[in-house]
Structures are given as C-alpha cells and as structure tokens.
Amino acid sequence: MKKFAIIIFSVLMLICAEAAAKNITVAGMGATPSDAENDALRAAVENTVGVLVDSETLVENSMLIRDQIYTHSRGFVNNYTVISREQIANGWRVTINAEVDDQPNSKLMNELTRLGIINVQLRNPKIAVYVPEQHLNYSVGGAGGETAIVKTLLNAGFSNVVEVGTGLNYQSPLSMNVAQMKQAAQNYGADIMIVGESFSEGVGDLGNYLPGNQRTNMEACRARVEAKMFIVRTGQVIAADGKYGSAYDNSQAIAAKKALASAGEQMGNYFVEQITGMYTSRQGVEVVVYGADFSKINLVQNALGKVNRVKNVNLSSYENGRAVFNVGYGGSPQTLFNELRALTPADLTLQSLAYNTLTIYVR
C-alpha cells in the first residue's frame, strides 16, 4: 500500500517529562544589590540564548539581541530565587537560581523568532514522506521502506506523525517535477517533502550464498530504497541517495520486508543528517550526563572530543553526579548518542532526547 505521512518536526518540544523551564544558577555584579540582581537575570537569559542560537548569529545580531532581549531579561525569566548576596570591592555580587523558559511557545522563543534570530521553520517544519514500494516477483502488502524512514525520523527525536493514506498516486515519484512536488506538498501544508521508490526481489535459497551451497529452506531477498528531499519554499532538491538492504527468512514476503526495512532505515538516517544539518548544524547541543562519579563522566567528556563534527566542548556545570556540557554539533542528538556509545568504554543509557538536548547515564 502506498502511504503518505506528514511528520510535524517539533524541533524544540521536549520528549522527556521534564520541567518546561530550564534551571540556571548564575551570578551578577553591580553597584547595588538590585543592579547585581538584574545583571544575574541578564546572565541567565544570555546563557539560554547562547544554547539556542549559534555564535555567528549572536555576533551578527549582538546589538539587536542586547537591546531587545537582554535589556528585558526579567520578562523572560519565569521565576528565580536569590541564593546569596555579598558585598565585594566594587559593589555587590548576587547569585540566583532562575527558571528560563526555552520551549517553542515561550516568550523568549517567540521574541527570538519575531526578531528573525531563529527561523520559524526551525521550530516546526512539516515533512511529507512518500516512498511507495514494489516486490519484483509478486505483490507484497504494506510499505516497509517508507515505514522504516518514518520510524528512523521518530527515533531521532522528530514527532507527531500523521498518516493520510493513499493521498498520492504517482507511478514514479522520483520522476515528479518541481511543480508536482510543490502541489503535493502544499496539499498537506508541508515545508519539506521526501519522495522516492523502493524495490525488493527474491534471490533464492540462502544456501546458494553460503559455502557448500547447502539448501537451508530460508529465502533471501535484497532491496533498494531511492529518495530525494525537496524544499517547498525554494523549489530546490537538496539531497538524494539510494540505499541497499538484504535479509532472509523462511518466507520470501517477510524477507522482502526485512530487506526493505534495512534499506529504509539507512535512508532515514541519511535524511535525519540532512535535516539536522540544514536546520541545526550551527546550533548548540546540551549534553546532560549522570554518573556515579566524575571519572565516569570524564569518559563521556573524552569521547565528545573524539566525535566528528563536535566542536567547543564546554563543561557548564557539575553537581551531585550531574554534568552539563554545551557542544557544537552538526547532527541530531540521537546520532550523537550513537557515536558516544561507540567511543565510550563504559555502559551508556539514553534517558531522553530532544531537538537540542541529550540526557544520558554512564555506568
């Protein structure tokens, strides 16, 4: 069955059941306690903006952000608690714990979007996926390749999948021209469209490919998924690739589905990288690590330094076995976790992930 899915990419919607606001402990200084408190509030908001916005954009829009965001910091802080006040040589130092809301519909995010600091599509682009399939020997129901692409996107932290059934009926989606893709995408309000085709075929008994050519009564199948990604607003195809998969089972139909799923998962991973690279390659990722002691957390910190496309690993806080690292990374948090797990000589467990936050345990 040909299926068309719309993926609402809620990039800043937390998947985990955590508080909507981010807790930050910061200090400010000023001539009076009130001045120091206001400086601390500014520091809390500045810290949050630094995670949400890349450094280049911060520099380019420094005056705008200073005048429109930092000077109104109190309005972006939900609440705060003064931890300490102390008189210093040139005035006062005030330390606070503040809750700064960085959720998609928060005042801060709305203002950053209004000012053009964060692109509105970064917060909620819609992605349409259309990858029908066929088995070259006989009809196989379902859409294993497309389902695998959708599942991979979901596992990467994208959410809100809505299936609309057989809304499209193109014999060769890869041959769709720009006008056809635009029309199809606009029918479902999509900002991005992924279209493609997938094929599978039986290649005989698995034993034919093993030493001795012994019959196993297990059917082998191979599959290929080809797809391209199209940006509706610009009419530009920005990514295209094809992936192979193979599998075996005592049923050729099941083997075909497994092979299609394998190829579809690879295709999904490819598009995850393209999408996150397009929207978040210059964004910071917050990596929260829980460990029994800092030696365990240090293993993760060392691994972060070895991951490709990771830049500027900064330990922003550590307390009671909880460390927070701010890093620049040109991929999705899920991909970053996979790479960390491969590079860390300890057991890593994924607790939660979101657009720009990865939370893990290390044992």
Domain ranges of the chain: 4-10+123-279, 21-102, 284-362
- Cα–Cα distance, 357 to 158 (Å, whole number): 13
pLDDT at position 157 is 60
Q: Are 94 and 28 in contact (CB under 8 A)?
A: yes
What single-letter amino acid sits at 334? Q
Q: What is the pLDDT along the chain (363 residues), one digit of tens a residue?
A: 333 333 222 232 322 223 345 688 999 999 999 999 999 999 999 988 887 776 667 888 889 999 999 999 999 999 999 999 999 988 999 999 999 887 656 788 778 877 877 654 444 467 888 888 888 776 666 678 888 988 887 776 666 555 544 667 777 888 888 888 888 888 877 778 888 899 999 888 887 777 777 778 888 999 999 999 887 766 778 889 999 999 999 888 889 999 999 999 999 989 887 776 555 444 567 899 999 889 999 999 999 999 877 878 889 899 889 999 988 776 667 778 888 999 999 999 988 876 567 899 999
pTM of the predicted protein model: 0.51
- Cα–Cα distance, 140 to 223 (Å, whole number): 13
pLDDT at position 160 is 55
- Cα–Cα distance, 273 to 156 (Å, whole number): 10
- Cα–Cα distance, 107 to 123 (Å, whole number): 14
Interaxial angle between packed helices 252-280 and 333-343, expressed in degrees from 0 to 180 and rounded to the nearest 10: 110
On the 0-12 / 13-18 / 19+ scale of CB atoms within 10 A, 334 is buried
Q: Are 332 and 292 in contact (CB under 8 A)?
A: no
Annotation: CATH topology of 21-102: Dodecin subunit-like (3.30.1660)
Task: Give the residue from 329, 324, 340 showing the smallest Cα distance to 283.
Answer: 329
* CA-derived radius of gyration, the chain: 25
- The per-residue DSSP string of 287-306 comes to EEEEESSHHHHHHHHHHHTT
Domain 4-10+123-279, CATH class in plain words: alpha beta
Q: Are 98 and 108 in contact (CB under 8 A)?
A: no
pLDDT at position 276 is 65
- Cα–Cα distance, 357 to 354 (Å, whole number): 5
Q: Are 191 and 126 in contact (CB under 8 A)?
A: yes
- Token pair, residue 117, equals 């600091």
- The per-residue DSSP string of 60-120 comes to HTHHHHHHHTGGGGGGGEEEEEEEEEEEETTEEEEEEEEEEE-STTSHHHHHHHHTTSS-H
Task: Give the residue from 331, 221, 243, 323 showing the smallest Cα distance to 282.
Answer: 331
pLDDT at position 358 is 86
pLDDT at position 45 is 93
Task: Give the residue from 248, 261, 315 showing the smallest Cα distance to 288.
Answer: 315
Annotation: CATH topology of 284-362: Alpha-Beta Plaits (3.30.70)
Q: Are 52 and 284 in contact (CB under 8 A)?
A: yes
pLDDT at position 332 is 66
pLDDT at position 16 is 29
> Alpha helices of the chain — where are they, by DSSP H?
33-52, 55-60, 62-68, 107-114, 120-123, 144-155, 178-187, 252-280, 294-304, 333-343
Task: Give the residue from 251, 246, 248 showing the smallest Cα distance to 222.
Answer: 246
Q: Are 204 and 234 in contact (CB under 8 A)?
A: no
- Cα–Cα distance, 191 to 341 (Å, whole number): 33
Phi, psi of 118 (to 5 degrees): -120, 130
Q: CA dist 81 to 40, 86, 101, 300, Å? A: 11, 15, 15, 32
Query: How many CB atoms lie under 10 A from the CB of residue 336?
Result: 23
Q: What share of the chain is helix, strand, coil (3-state, %, to 5)?
A: 35, 35, 30
